[in-house]
Chain A
């Protein structure tokens, strides 16, 4: 068969459906992922208005008033990173120092986590429906950065995100259980 003029783009080339909206769509994709995970874990997914708050969402596990538990999340989506599950972690670089600072700040009340999503560079391939599932490429990983420090001069800090921290309902339940009993998310021995 002869090759036609229009050959498919090489893999790992960023191919948006519409370059004007792709950034918003990346956010939407990740929100859909996180909202679905939260729903599976019986949690409320509350989105905050942009720029009003240092965080994008709050995941709430409702209980009688006075006993619910919540976690703030900062959502980041990337098409340039494809974490290798055989490695213990991958690097994620913040575009702004303040995003990192928000997550590293010591909090005594509601804690905050980073959720990094790695997805396919070809927008049209992000999801694929079938009778028994909705496939979604690829994966969200969570990281807890409270108390971490980087040098004052670093304007775009890079953090290590563990590949074992796949963000799914089990992970979210563990996070909320740990916070509920006053535990430390840095201590993963109970997982």
Chain B
């Protein structure tokens, strides 16, 4: 008989009671046993007790425990019991339990296969769903770009990708039920206390599910009313550009897709995290795509004037104006990237950089993730530092967004 080429969990690490519950949940029947000695279970289907009953030793202190558990594991390590096996292997990864996200994309390829590009994309998109949901846990917003990236990364680092299933191409993510993810970059003074500066992975899983749930409702609402208002209304519940964009990718070029959450078999949370299944149709992709574009535009830009020192100059195309990085000296965003509209303005900015002058630029200020962009920027003048009386002006007091500094953000720029 062919054995799966996966490592066998060490028998002494398998909790017999968990294994019994796991088997029962997957349709095995407890047909016999002896208290505090063993359980005898029969697999689902029309099978004979004379051939296939499985002995699960239950006394971990028995000298023969490892031998019998090893035999039980060997009996389970066959393709027919793949579902049990996968659960079993993952349960040894984190004994406190793993919640499972299974994302299945139906395509025209034969069952169990997927075109390479689509499969590769699917993994990225599932990651995108997890990340967008995790970010929404911290701060629901119409879009994030790179904001909260380090938190999302720490969350992703706790998860595992599982084996795909025969007969259907699925990407499986296992998220521990009770690991702690720090909300802020790890520092010596981080407490790591849930509710103060850390979250549990189960809380984040719940946020991801809430966000998908809100998205499905918004898609249904759009279908029945042609209105996209459900998406904006769902931002508080976790809908974001990143989420709908990832879901759009999952459903594009498909005959449909589904996302299933299977809470850990043992570590269930009564009344809270339940098994959920979300089904998307092949035409949902375009709705989601449009919703994504609208979410990106959800935050209106504001007319602003920025004064500051030029610390960065970049020009991608010859003869065109480039982008100027301005370190502002006012109370608004500490750094602003300005897209200048004329080559002459860019030239003035180069001069300002060279001569240590300050620039005064007007434009449409918009925050994208950690970065503040000034679009349609016009350089209105150069100021020597001595002349500066008012450092940052705005045409509207509220138009300067609260600055959020992130020194790492600059590395993501392609300058």
Please tell me if the beta carbons of A109 and B59 are within 8 angstroms of each other in the complex.
Answer: yes
Flag whether A190 is at the interface (Cβ < 8 A): no
The answer to whether B32 and A62 touch across the interface, beta carbons within 8 angstroms, is yes
Expressed in whole angstroms, the minimum distance between the Cβ of B249 and any Cβ of chain A is 45
Q: Is A60 an interface residue (CB 8 A)?
A: yes
CB distance from B313 to the nearest CB of A (A): 71
Q: Chain A nearest CB: distance from B64 CB in Å?
A: 5
B57–A109 contact, CB under 8 A?
yes
Task: Identify which of A54, A58, A108 contacts B63 (C-beta below 8 A).
Answer: A108
Query: What is the count of residue pairs linking A and B with beta-carbon distances less than 8 angstroms?
Result: 67
Complex: chain A residue closest to B39, CB-CB: A65
| Stretch among A6-14, A42-50, A88-96, A127-135 lining the B interface | A42-50
| Residue B40 at the chain A interface, CB threshold 8 Å | yes
Q: Are A52 and B71 in contact (CB under 8 A)?
A: yes
> Within B51-87, which residues are at the interface with A (CB < 8 Å)?
51, 53, 55, 57, 59, 61-65, 67-68, 71, 74-75
Q: Which of B1, B51, B63, B75 contacts A105 (CB 8 A)?
A: B63
A63 to B50 Cα, complex, angstroms: 16
Which A-chain residue is minimally distant from B34 (CB atoms)? A68
Asked if A109 contacts B68 (CB within 8 A), the reply is: yes
Q: Is the CB of B1 within 8 A of A49?
A: yes
Instruction: Count B-side interface residues using an 8 Å CB cutoff.
Output: 27
Cβ distance A51 to chain B, nearest Cβ, rounded Å: 9
Q: Mask for A60-90, Cβ within 8 A of B = 1, else 0?
A: 1011011111100000000000000000000
- B8: shortest Cβ distance to chain A, in Å? 12
Specify which of A44, A67, A105, A108 is in contact with B50 (CB 8 Å cutoff).
A44
Residues of A within 8 A of B40 (CB): 60, 68
Is there an interface contact between A67 and B35, defined as CB atoms closer than 8 Å?
yes
Q: Which chain A positions have C-beta within 8 A of B67?
A: 54, 105
Query: How far is it, in angstroms, between the C-alpha of A39 and the C-alpha of B50 when the chains are bound?
Result: 12
The answer, yes or no, to whether A107 is at the interface (CB within 8 Å) is yes
The chain A residue sitting closest to B57, CB to CB, is A109
- Shortest C-beta distance, A124 to chain B (Å), equals 28
Within 8 Å CB of B61, what residues of A?
108
B32 contacts across to A, CB distance below 8 A: 60, 62-63, 65, 68
Q: Does B30 contact A (CB under 8 A)?
A: yes
Q: Which of B34, B51, B57, B74 contacts A67 (CB 8 A)?
A: B34
Q: List 13 A-B contacts (CB under 8 A).
A: A46-B49, A47-B51, A54-B67, A60-B32, A66-B33, A67-B34, A68-B33, A68-B40, A69-B34, A70-B38, A108-B62, A109-B37, A110-B37
Binding site for A on B (CB under 8 A): 1, 30-35, 37-38, 40, 49-51, 53, 55, 57, 59, 61-65, 67-68, 71, 74-75
A contacts, CB < 8 Å to B: 44-49, 52-54, 58, 60, 62-63, 65-70, 105-110
Besides the known contacts A66-B35, A109-B59, 10 further A-B residue pairs in the complex with CB atoms under 8 A apart: A52-B74, A63-B32, A65-B31, A107-B63, A108-B64, A109-B57, A109-B64, A110-B34, A110-B38, A110-B64
